[in-house]
Chains A and B, each alone.
Chain A
């Protein structure tokens, strides 16, 4: 898994970190991942690259406040210092962007069926495509 993919997975889960009542959702992911590993023999690609991000997601439960950063620090595929510094920086920038976009994505004109998490998820998906070219840097 590439750093940019992990970064956006973290951001999706950050939506839930802000509401401690929903933190149980984070617990589901390692279970799902475990299920995928269990069936590894039936899928052609290796699941090994997913293992460390799963540990990182587990770290979210320990420290809710710092969880996105701790996830990034646990990420194992950094090749150099530049990459290791840029990914947390992007996490910070995108988190701030999302915070400032919140008033726009929570407005009353948004159709009720996508208000809340779905529109935030869509916005994050769009941001993923915007930042995707930077993964080539």
Chain B
């Protein structure tokens, strides 16, 4: 953050949230197109549950885009075949623990939707596991899964067609489109997606693979495009890491923040049985925000 004076950009929080909601429409439409009625049920239940939880926590009827965004992001991170009630539990965890336990809107340390996703995976691992696979850890159905052993898909099929995994992976190009909308309106700092995706790309080339990867899916190694497009990298870079509440104040701090998330994501992808470390990367980076702010603001003050 630079010293004042500051000029108001004209964006109110509500307007910012409204445009973010619009940017998510292509992803939502693609996921419903690919997965049909089941996906729609998940969205409806999640939105209703989140607003019910907001009502319970705030004891008044409100309509906030932030609640809508949380509800939609939560569903975008769920597997397409998830039962409807997982949205209800997810909403309770996201709004109850992720948001109101930490003081409500604007005070949360962790991104509520991501926190909810990680807690759901810990509570109901079976929902995030494909039963026909041999699973030796908490897993999820993505192209990055170590148990699939499938062949490397083509770039066009990766971007345009549905890949196994969460609803956001129904058509990854729509995530990219949403991200471009956010960048064009300058609602997110371009440094965060750039440095997050660059870290993932670089580490996918540099890191030596574990035996687990080499033995099952060797195409995961040295394949930056796969790591960017498959899994939750795109959604994370544009929509999850850029949450203004849970990211650092300073521009340089955001660079460090994105790199930390990228490193953690790749360590989990390469060396643990978890298929995708993006959600864990986001939460770790969120937890490090006060530390990053503390040191980066000190550093910037001493330099400038």
Contacts and interface: CB of A to CB of B under 8 A. Distances in A.
B122 A129 contact: yes
A134 B104 CA distance: 30
Contacts of B272: 133-134, 136-137
Interface stretch (B67-75, B156-164, B183-191, B281-289): B281-289
Given A105-B109, A107-B103, A129-B118, A100 B273 contact: no
Contact of A136 (B103, B104, B137): B137
A101 B118 CA distance: 20
B196 interface: no
Interface in A15-54: none
Main secondary structure of the interface of B (DSSP, over half): helix
Interface stretch (B31-39, B94-102, B213-221): B94-102
Nearest to B103: A109
A110 interface: yes
Contacts of B110: 126
A133 B280 contact: yes
B280 A96 contact: no
Contact of B118 (A110, A123, A130): A130
B104 A100 contact: no
A114 B100 CA distance: 10
A114 B283 contact: no
Given A100-B294, A101-B109, A126-B110, A110 B283 contact: no
Interface string B112-142: 0001001100100000000000000100000
Interface string B247-283: 0000000000000000000011001111001001001
Given A133-B272, A133-B277, A101 B101 contact: no
A103 interface: yes
A97 B103 contact: no
B288 A133 contact: no
Contacts of A114: 101
A126 B246 CA distance: 15
Q: How large is the interface on B (under 10, 10 to 19, 20 to 34, 35 or more residues)?
A: 20 to 34
B107 interface: yes
B274 A133 contact: yes
Contacts of B283: 126, 129-130
B290 interface: yes
- Report which residue of A103, A123, A130 has the largest number of chain B beta carbons within 10 angstroms of its beta carbon: A130
A127 interface: yes
A126 B288 CA distance: 13
B116 to A, nearest CB: 11
B291 interface: yes
A132 B118 CA distance: 11
Contacts of A84: none
A114 B101 CA distance: 7
Nearest to B270: A137
Contacts of B271: 136-137
A131 B277 CA distance: 11
A129 B100 CA distance: 19
B287 A97 contact: yes
- Report which residue of B118, B122, B268, B290 has the largest number of chain A beta carbons within 10 angstroms of its beta carbon: B290
Interface of B: 97, 100-104, 107, 109-110, 115, 118-119, 122, 137, 267-268, 271-274, 277, 280, 283-284, 287-288, 290-291, 294
6 contacts: A108-B103, A109-B104, A110-B103, A119-B102, A126-B115, A130-B280
Interface of A: 96-97, 100-101, 103-105, 107-111, 114, 119, 122-123, 126-127, 129-134, 136-137
State the 4 A-B residue pairs at the shortest beta-carbon distance, nearest first.
A109-B103, A136-B272, A100-B290, A100-B291
